[in-house]
Amino acid sequence: MDLLINVILPLSLAIIMLSLGLGLTFGDFTRVAARPRAFAIGALSQVALVPAATLAVIFLFDIRGELAVGIMLLSFCPGGVTSNMLSKLARGDVALSVSLTAVVSLLSILTVPVLAAWSVRHLMGDAGPEVSVAALAFAMFLITTLPVALGVLFRRLAPNAADRIEPGLNLIALLLFVVIVLAALVGNWSVFVANIATLGPAMATLMLALLLIGLLLATGFALPWAERKTISIETGIQNATLGITLAALITGQSEGFSTMALPSAFYGVSMYLAALPFVAWYRSRG
């Protein structure tokens, strides 16, 4: 199990982020300058409103300790490839989705360590582990930012090779995602069973609330319908593998997945149940 936590988990996340980078171009980053309003609304929703709504749900359902921190960690994670795929299925603005994923994923090296340290300190107090913001930021750079940058650079230098590699790497990334999520869920099965009566409704409420918050925010700013759909999905979808990895990095647990990883694992299995009805409705409306 220590091999899974210390080697396979971070390597899996790095491969997933590399697959994300291979699907990006420099234009995906610079496009935000041409569409600052929609991008700013989507980024604000992901970086600020998602954690705020998550904190409200935690207090509403009286979730405490490692589970509370685990839910907060999930809220700090950007959407990743899944949000791009769902935006495409919903006939949303895929270019906006990709740009949000690209920029917010890179910004997470600055936002996530600070917010994660705050969550552990305020939700666990003295019972929580010591969190080094600098060490967490460096770890995130190695397993998220660097692979994304290498993927973008590889596509820039060898676009034809990137096109050939990307489908296979995406499949590997999907398989690794499934393995990590199921391993974290199975590894905390007794904790999951003991808390499902609270965790299940809390996570369902959070997922539905975030999808609606994104939609209402974009509607309030009178964005086009395609952009509203995309911002709803980008707000409601988080990278579960990153949440599980953050839990492992913070707890330093090498002999199994910690309770802190359970919310992300549960989310990784259940997020499609909440998102797909929205996607079907969005798709039906053009």
Residues 76 and 116 sit within 8 Å (Cβ to Cβ): yes
Q: Looking up tokens 């929205």, which residue turns up?
A: 278
Average predicted confidence (pLDDT) for the chain:
88
The two three-digit tokens of residue 87, written as one number = 């935006």
Residue 135 structural domain: 2-284
> Tokens 């391993």 map to which residue?
183
Distance CA 70, CA 78 (A): 15
110: its two tokens: 């600055």
Mean pLDDT across the stretch 233-237? 93
* DSSP string for 251-270: H---SS--GGGHHHHHHHHH
Listed in sequence order, the residues at least 6 apart from 122 whose beta carbon sits closer than 8 Å to its beta carbon are: none
* Contact between 53 and 206 (Cβ < 8 Å): yes
Q: pLDDT tens, 37-76?
A: 999 999 999 999 999 999 999 999 999 999 999 999 999 9
How does DSSP assign 185-231, residue by residue? HHHTHHHHHHHHHHHHHHHHHHHHHHHHHHHHHHHHTT--HHHHHHH
Nearest to 202 by CA among 28, 80, 54, 85: 54
Q: Provide the token pair at 45.
A: 């929703």
Q: How confident is the model at residue 80 (pLDDT cuts 50, 70, 90)?
A: confident
pLDDT digits (tens, 9 = 90+) for 239-266: 888 998 899 889 876 556 788 989 998 9
At residue 52, the pLDDT reads 96
**pLDDT tens profile 134-161:** 999 998 898 888 998 899 899 999 999 9
For residues 70 and 259, the answer to whether their CB atoms sit within 8 Å is yes
Per-residue confidence (pLDDT) for residue 26, from 0 to 100: 82
Phi-psi region of 65 (alpha: psi -120 to 50; beta: other; left: phi over 0): left
How far is it, in rounded angstroms, from Cα 237 to Cα 46? 9
Structure-block tokens of residue 251: 């707890």
Number of helical (H) and strand (E) elements in the chain, helices listed first: 15, 0
Q: What is the pLDDT of residue 6?
A: 62
Angle at 181 between CA 95 and CA 195, to 5 degrees: 115
CATH for 181: 1.20.1530.20
Query: What tens digit of pLDDT does each residue of 119-138 get?
Result: 999 999 888 888 899 999 99
Residue 74, H or E segment: helix 65-75
User: d(Cα 58, Cα 50) in Å, to the nearest integer?
Assistant: 12
Among 31-35, 125-129, 280-284, the range scoring the smallest mean pLDDT is 31-35
DSSP category for residue 43: H
d(CA 154, CA 26): 11
- The alpha carbon of 89 is separated from its chain's Cα centroid by a whole number of angstroms, namely 19
Domain count, the chain: 1
